[in-house]
Amino acid sequence: MKKLLTLLISPLLLFAIDHTPLLDKLSKDVDWAYQDILINGETIHQGWMCPERYAVIKPILDLYERPIKILDIGANNGYFSIRAAMEYDATCVMADVTLRLKRICEYNTNVPNLIYLKKRLSSDDLRLLKETEHFDVILVFNVLHHIAPPDNWKSFLNELFELGDNLIIETPPASDSELTKSSIVPLINQHLQNLPHAQKIGTFPRFKFDDSFPAVDPDRLDLMLWLSFKPKEDYPNTYKEPIETGIRLSVFNELHGRYPTKKQVKQAKRSLPFFKRFLSDKILVQGTTLN
């Protein structure tokens, strides 16, 4: 009922707000136009086919009968995480490198279960996460060829495979002329598609970053793949039994956590038992709530 009221009331409150100043602030960072920008349920900027892409991953989120823990690598404007956090009992951990996404989190005052790590995640970072965390769903949309080491991309993939149960990857077409300098794109694509547990769940016309936004190249398609390492038919309890959501405060700090803000973390600590406030490896960050 609380989420329903939030969804009904928030658009009414935001209707009278002029979003131009906010959008001007957010648009200063790189690649701002790519994804929709959601603020408390209202789209203040329309990017490229975000609702259509979300519709493809939604059935995977629907598999869960309990709170969900999501990692969104290269989250851009956080569209997919923010929608998931609004529509499900989901704690969403986003990783990217812009100030813009921190501000988007701050403006989403009705979506408290968001976490932002301002960091380009490396293989070492994935190993650090793996020590204490495990995710139900990991999203990696059109960034794998940017963040995986060119000379060790298979190792990077393997770290990802061990970090979550369901991995959803979107990759650009190997024929994209803008990516010819990235020789690992065709290698990654071929490797992923040849994996026995990889399922093709969608293709989308390629979005082109240029001055004529939005520009679309219908002859080249981004590919979305789903790799399920624990299918529900084989591991039904994985989708039912409660888990700890959120990430350790120690990991949040180590990986440059920027949302919740320092002020919010300090305030949330006051609700914890006094002795626990100093044990960052025992504190779970669940958005603006600590546990």
pLDDT digits (tens, 9 = 90+) for 95-104: 999 999 999 9
| DSSP conformation letters of 192-259 | HHHSTTEEEEEEEEEEE-STTSSEEEEEEEEEEEEEESS-TTT-GGGGTS----SEEHHHHHHTTEEE
Q: Which residues contact 250 (CB under 8 A, 6 or more apart)?
A: 132, 280, 281, 283
According to the model, what pLDDT value does residue 71 have?
A: 99
| Model confidence at 176: pLDDT above 90 | no
Kind and range of the H or E element at 284?
A: strand 284-285
According to the model, what pLDDT value does residue 205 have?
A: 86
pLDDT in tens, 192-226: 999 998 999 999 987 765 544 555 565 678 899 99
247 vs 21 pLDDT, higher one:
247
Q: Side chain identity at 125, as an amino acid letter? A: D
Q: What span, in angstroms and rounded, lies between the C-alpha atoms of 83 and 66?
A: 17
| Model confidence at 16: pLDDT above 90 | no
How far apart, in Å, are the Cα atoms of 163 and each of 6, 42, 129, 134, 243? 32, 32, 8, 5, 15
User: Which CATH number, 3.40.50.150, 3.50.50.60, 3.40.190.10, 3.40.50.300, labels domain 2-246?
Assistant: 3.40.50.150
Q: What span, in angstroms and rounded, lies between the C-alpha atoms of 145 and 125?
A: 17
According to the model, what pLDDT value does residue 99 have?
A: 92
pLDDT in tens, 41-91: 999 999 989 999 999 999 999 999 999 999 999 999 999 999 999 999 999
| DSSP conformation letters of 6-40 | HHHHHHHHHHTS--HHHHHHHTTSTTTTSS-EEET
| Model confidence at 22: pLDDT above 90 | no
pTM above 0.75, yes or no: yes
| Model confidence at 169: pLDDT above 60 | yes
Domain range summary for the chain, segments of one domain joined by +: 2-246
Percent of the chain having pLDDT more than 70? 84
Q: Coil, helix or strand for 135?
A: strand
* pLDDT class of 27 with cuts at 50, 70, 90: low
Q: Coil, helix or strand for 125?
A: helix
Q: Is 217 buried (19+), middle (13-18) or exposed (0-12) by CB count in 10 A?
A: middle
According to the model, what pLDDT value does residue 19 have?
A: 60
Q: Is 240 buried (19+), middle (13-18) or exposed (0-12) by CB count in 10 A?
A: exposed
Q: What span, in angstroms and rounded, lies between the C-alpha atoms of 285 and 291?
A: 7
DSSP state of 190: H
According to the model, what pLDDT value does residue 3 have?
A: 42
Q: Coil, helix or strand for 73?
A: strand
According to the model, what pLDDT value does residue 178 have?
A: 55
According to the model, what pLDDT value does residue 62 have?
A: 99
- Report, as an integer, the average pLDDT of 137-149: 93
According to the model, what pLDDT value does residue 93 have?
A: 99
- Report, as an integer, the average pLDDT of 32-36: 88
| Model confidence at 179: pLDDT above 60 | no
Q: Is 231 buried (19+), middle (13-18) or exposed (0-12) by CB count in 10 A?
A: middle
Helices (H), 27-97: 50-61, 79-87
According to the model, what pLDDT value does residue 186 have?
A: 87
- Report, as an integer, the average pLDDT of 146-165: 93
186 vs 219 pLDDT, higher one:
186
- Report, as an integer, the average pLDDT of 123-146: 95
